[in-house]
Structure 1
Amino acid sequence: TLPGPRPVERAVAEHLATPDAPVHYVENTLLTGLFGLLLWPAIFEPLPGAFFHPFHSAPADLYREDFAERRRGIIDACLARLDDGSYRQAMRDTFAAKQGVAAQFIHWPALGPALLDTALHCLPAAHLRAVFTRLLADLKHNRAGFPDLIQFFPEADASARYRLIEVKGPGDRLQDNQRRWLDHFARHEIPVEVCHVRWQPAP
């Protein structure tokens, strides 16, 4: 129960944030942005028919069922970086080299270097793999439905350095794509909570 009414995500973020546990409004930008950074070589692989001019922000076959299969080798190589630990530097290198280039999964204004570094410190590779694998299974439909907020606990144990938070204001309900992501998070032990907000009654 919070004072309001006001933008509900901002209200929850301000209520939960502390100097040691910042909260960021990320919704469909952070996890998809990390996906775009790691999978950049696969997304922009110049396969025949994928690009018609130099201003494409994604290949023409991005949402076709065979998108991943056509790029299986390079996708597997990108995901393998999550296993050998090289993914952090790979993402930072792509961020530095490609920042500002139009890319389907990356909203550059929402993904600054400080947020990137904190996310790479706090999000386990296994959780990123679980998210990226589901994204690849259906890029068109699975790229939405992510929780509104993320709270980081950078000084905590490596297994508990963040939580995702879906915020629902008065009268708002979970959408189907949100429920599917919540189910996926639960099956992969990805920390997520749903915060239901109601406004304090007027005095």
Structure 2
Amino acid sequence: MAAQSSRSGQPSPFITDEEFERLRSRTAVSGEQEDSKGSIPDMVPGFKASPLTIGVPPKIIRAFKAFDYVPYTSLTATARLKAEQEQELEWKADGSLAAKRFDWLDETAITDRAWQAAARLAVELARQHWPQGAVRAEALIGHHDVVTRLAESHGWQIAVRYDIRQRDTMHRVPQHDISTLSDAALTYVSSQVMTFGIIRHCTSFNHGEASADR
């Protein structure tokens, strides 16, 4: 009887394991496609994406979202291009994988022109990803104006060190307002630059004396 039912073309209440696996695979793929479609943000009439933020490496985006300090040397066009070609993870001494940290070496070696471009990008990223994005972006613009004026009045080395110290303080103490000049920070970095200058002068002088003795 069962054989007759099967031969008559009536559907069987059971499916084979192979058929079940094929059905499950199709369902999973369909679900992934639906999730992918649903994750795409809607178009916003009148919204224009900033060309400055196109092509920014995910590592930098994550740092801004986490409100972590980002050296402006990492925001230059050259640094961003290099980051796109590098692996984001590296092996640690204990054998585990960890995200590569930003390179803080030679942070003060950034040129005024490169810094200005990095500063504009930082404002756009802050506006998009920082908490209180609009408010903090405006404060960052004010800070950049302070740094620009310091470069004219005190020189670039003092200005760039002031910038680094103030932004580092802001990320350590989020309540810190960097939009206006901090006399305490300016005094600190000025004394730093002066001390480094004296040390370099003494080192060069002693090296010159030693060369003369030889």
Answer 1 or 2: which has greater strand percent: 1
Answer 1 or 2: which has greater helix percent: 2
Q: Do these two structures clear the TM 0.5 threshold for a shared fold by scoring above it? A: no
Mark the structure with the bigger radius of gyration. Answer: 2
Q: Tell me the TM-score normalized by structure 1.
A: 0.31
Q: Tell me the TM-score normalized by structure 2.
A: 0.30
Structure possessing the higher relative contact order (Cα contacts under 8 Å, 6 or more residues apart): 1
